[in-house]
Structure 1
Amino acid sequence: MESVPLISGLWDNGLIYIIPFLFVLTIIVFFHELGHFLVGRWCGIKALAFSVGFGPELAGFTDRQGTRWKLAAIPLGGYVKFLGDENAASVPDHGAVDRMSEAERVEAFPAASVGRRAATVAAGPIANFLLAIVIFAGVAFFNGRVVGDPVIAGVEPDSPAAEAGFEPGDRVVSADGEEIAYFSDLQRYVAAQGENPINFVVERDGRQVDLTVTPRMETRTDEFGNSFTLPIVGLRADNTTAGFRVEELGVVQSLEYGVSQTWFVTARTVEFIGQVVTGRQSADQIGGPIRIAQVSGQVSTIGIAALLNLAALLSVSIGILNLLPIPMLDGGHLLFYAFEAVRGRPLSEQVQEVGFRIGLALVTLLMIFAFWNDITGLV
């Protein structure tokens, strides 16, 4: 009888992770594929299927244009299959196109101009960035933005900031000449600099003081036990209600905030990828579905606004990932189209096939690596 409460507990805990994970992933995948679908339709390309998930169809319907909209059993992605595609990865089926009538060929993806194909492919990642902007802006509009003045409440002992001469009560005016209006601006600037020296100007007792500090990479643990490495200077904010306040934003201000947040996340993500490639960051921070599910469940305990912000962060990451110049991904297709535009004709079918095979191998290796990180992280 003791197994019944155990199974019930595992089921309940599983739902804590699964439901937020599916919520976040479905939003991201749907809008990514919707970008492909809408631009493809605007370009006169016929979509045969719009699927959220892979594998057997669970539910669906066919619209007036002949597109099958469906929800599939494996919720780890999605695809739009256009007329003339060999598979869900949009590998062109030239043989099928050659057998089409002239009327059918007009609507086939491989037969479209390189500009229309590029626009259709690029629309997916672009939709991810637009989704992030809308989410960040919407959360800021309805909830306001929590801000705090850039006043130093404390300096951690033996930290880079202590060595540089920071003192409690200092008000940060600028960093490398950039104005610091809020404490979050200070945090974001430090996070973007890595271990590069930063020249600060602080206001102390009515006068300005120049301080130079070099951040130190440290591994920290959040409230959920997740470890991450980031640049640290050792400055603490006043986390009381006296130090922070909620600033209400209008529609235009919210959109500006959404754009700035999306740009910041994009820049930080690209920087992180570059640091992993050059060995300056550990690749063990790359996670897969298990880690995303874990973080989604943890963040959902904070509230719907936090979960939506996580969706925005992941949407940017998915957009960047798909723009990598790897065949099988959107960026790989765009790379092929760039060669086609320069050469005036497509790459040979043999070259494209080799490219897609290499891309499939790279994507598979990345997925295995991400799953391995997920599993070792849980252990």
Structure 2
Amino acid sequence: METAIAFIIIFGSIVFFHELGHFIFAKRAGIMVREFAIGMGPKIFGYTKGETLYTLRLLPIGGYVRMAGEDMDSVELQPGFRLGIHLNDLDEIDQILLNQNKQFPDMLFLEVERSNLTDQMFIEGYNEEEKLVRYKVARNAVINEKGNETIIAPADRQFGSKSVGQRTMTIFAGPLFNFILSFFIFLALGLFQGLPTYEPVITRVVKDSPAAQAGMQDGDLVTKIDGTSITTWDELSEKVKVSSNELMEFTVERDGQEVNLSMTPNEAVVEKEKVGQIGVEYTSPMEKNPAKAVVFGAEQTYEWTKRIFTILGTLITGNFSIDDLSGPVGIYKATEEVAQYGVYNLMHWAAILSINLGIMNLLPLPALDGGRLLFFLFEALRGKPVDKQKEGMVHFVGIMLLMVLMVVVTWNDIQRFFFNG
């Protein structure tokens, strides 16, 4: 149960920030957002604020921002269609009622002759006196069909009416926000967990080891070895590794005092290599430094981005097979394992997943954000958009292929975790 909660919180947060990027930049561009959804499938909960429906859906495997002008959401009123209308104080239509059995106060009836609900914003038709009349449609008019209300979307509020730059930023903002989320998670880790200082402070001295025999104690800070200053654990470790069976002089700081110790590292074989060991254990001290935490957040986001791109490169070159990919089941099992090591490890895992989602969505594949960005690039180069039907067909094929890939990856996960274990 704890794993399920952790998975839903982590994946839900990553999806939320991804969709939030689309949502914010759509709003900045003046695009009407019809729905902001977290999850897929049947609706569990929903509420409307302004012109947007906010929903939580059953399957925690994705989400979407549905913008006006997409998915053929416009309503066309065919000639001869009979409808009810309501006028506001400016004699503009603010409500259009379709297929209604009920009548409302001040409702007028029209038989449509001509209409335009995107550019010219009017409805022309015959009233009950069979007189041809024409009414202007308000920009915020609502279409009510069997109790379902939809705000009309004037042409300038639709996704397709915006410039290539505005549409590009609206789509790119989703993956961008995944990288921003990762940065802030790593930043939080640096602020709350702290960052390693790598100071050469001895965590524990092993009993009967050369260090113990020389009088070294837990908490000693090594400052010099054979007269050379030591500032990091790596420096200490390298000097000891190459000095097996050689007498070494250590200077340590203990309770504000300098103490000199002499010891000879034992020789040990580690991965077929002979190395020196003095018998101490090390865990880096941690510090909470806001400035360093910011740098840590940026560095970790960059490093993990680079690692994931490297893995993608091995997939392209054939050094990485589809059997090595993981879907939702694999991510769930990995989350279960990571959860055993505490909340900080879960946060680190969430940051990696967020970067991964951002990169995957930027791949130039149909139906992904990267595929849509590729079409915008073609439009910018050609000076005109790609035919909508052709683009739609490409994205449809892409969705089908992605669904097949998801089924294959999920089946591999199920076999790996439930039948081979």
Report if TM-score (shorter chain) is over 0.5: yes
Pair 1:326-2:365 in alignment: yes
Name 2:159's counterpart in structure 1: 109
Q: Which runs of 5+ in 1 are unaligned?
A: 1-14, 87-91, 151-180, 184-199, 206-232
Alignment partners' CA distance in 1, 2:240 and 2:389: 61
**Secondary structure of the residue that 1:245 maps to in structure 2?**
coil
Secondary structure of residue in 1 paired with 2:284: strand
The separation in 2 between residues aligned to 1:360 and 1:148, in whole angstroms, is: 48
**Structure 2: which amino acid aligns with 1:19?**
I
- Partner of residue 293 from structure 1, selected from 310, 322, 332: 332
How much does 1:241 deviate?
Answer: 8.2
- CA contact under 8 A between 1:32 and 1:127: conserved in structure 2? yes
1:147 Cα shift? 5.7
- Amino acid of the structure 2 residue aligned with 1:100: T
Query: Which has more helix, going by share of residues?
Result: 1
Q: Which residue of 2 aligns with 1:45?
A: 31
TM-score (norm 1): 0.69
Q: Aligned residue for 1:32? A: 18
1:276 aligns with 2:315: yes
Quick one: which amino acid aligns to residue 297 of structure 1?
A: E
| Greater alpha carbon shift after TM alignment, 101-110 vs 320-329 | 101-110
Distance in structure 1 (CA, Å) of the matches to 2:199 and 2:157:
57
Distance of 1:131 and 1:116 partners within structure 2: 22
User: Are the counterparts in 2 of residues 300 and 307 from structure 1 also a CA contact under 8 Å?
Assistant: yes
Q: How many residues align?
A: 286
Identical columns (%): 34
Q: CA separation in 2, counterparts of 1:234 and 1:95?
A: 74
Q: Secondary structure of 1:327's match? A: coil
2:339 maps to amino acid: S
Once residues 36 and 93 of structure 1 are traced to their aligned partners in structure 2, the CA distance between those partners, rounded to angstroms, is 19
Aligned ranges 1:55-74 → 2 under 5 Å: 55-64=41-50, 66-74=51-59
Alignment of 1:1-379 (within 5 A): 15-64=1-50, 66-86=51-71, 100-101=118-119, 104-146=154-196, 148=198, 204=242, 242-378=281-417, 379=419
Deviation at 1:247, TM superposition (A): 2.6
8 Å Cα contact 2:19/2:64 also seen in 1: yes
Find the residue that maps to 2:366 and give its secondary structure: coil
Q: Which amino acid aligns with 1:266?
A: T
- Whose radius of gyration is greater, 1 or 2? 2
- Partner deviation per Cα, 1:246-296 (whole Å, 9 max, x = no partner): 331422211111111111111111110110121112332211111111111
Alpha-carbon distance between aligned partners in 2 of 1:277 and 1:237, rounded to the nearest angstrom: 42
* Bigger relative CO (Cα 8 Å, ≥ 6 apart): 1
Structure 1 245/359 Cα, relative in aligned 2: closer, same or farther at 3 Å? same
Structure with the largest fraction of strand = 2
Deviation of 1:327 after TM superposition, in Å, equals 1.5
Asked whether the equivalents of residues 94 and 110 of structure 1 are also in contact (C-alpha less than 8 Å), the reply is no
Q: CA deviation at 1:49?
A: 0.4
The normalised TM-score by structure 2 is 0.62
List gaps (5 residues or longer) in structure 2.
77-115, 121-138, 140-153, 201-231, 244-270
- Residue identity in the other structure for 1:130: I
Q: Secondary structure at the match of 2:378?
A: helix
* Deviation, structure 1 residue 330: 0.3
What SS is found at the alignment partner of 2:386?
Answer: coil
